[in-house]
């Protein structure tokens, strides 16, 4: 699990990107692995920022979140 930034742990955005580079994941799975206190709001904010930047996308089912390939055009 990822601790707060104040503790010097890996920043949440870097952890999300690392997880998604390993393969698609659901929001629930990411929340279980990456939130130390069970509050999903910081994770949601990071995913929204990554989506706006074109770095993540949903699969066709709308359930899996995946990293966008660097050579793939943004939708």
**Domain CATH number, residue 60:** 1.10.10
- 74 belongs to a structural domain: no
Cα separation values, 38 from 8, 23, 35, 51, 55, Å: 19, 22, 5, 22, 24
Closest CA to 32 of 49, 45, 57, 15: 15
Give the domain extent around 58: 10-67
Q: What is the pLDDT of residues 10-27, one digit of tens each?
A: 799 999 999 999 998 998
Name the region of 23 (left: φ>0; alpha: ψ -120 to 50; beta: rest): left
pLDDT at 73 over 90: no
Structurally, the chain folds into a number of domains equal to 1
The answer to the question of residue 5 being in a domain is no
Residue 72, domain member (yes or no): no
The model's confidence at residue 30, banded by pLDDT at 50, 70 and 90, is: very high
Burial of 25 (0-12, 13-18, 19+ CB in 10 A): buried
């Amino acid at each position: 699990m990822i601790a707060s930034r104040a503790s010097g742990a890996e920043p949440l955005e870097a952890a999300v990107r690392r997880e998604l580079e390993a393969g698609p994941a659901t929001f629930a799975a990411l929340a279980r692995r990456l939130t130390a206190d069970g509050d999903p709001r910081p994770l949601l904010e990071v995913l929204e920022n990554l989506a706006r930047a074109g770095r993540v996308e949903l699969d066709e089912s709308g359930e899996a979140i995946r990293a966008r390939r660097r050579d793939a055009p943004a939708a």
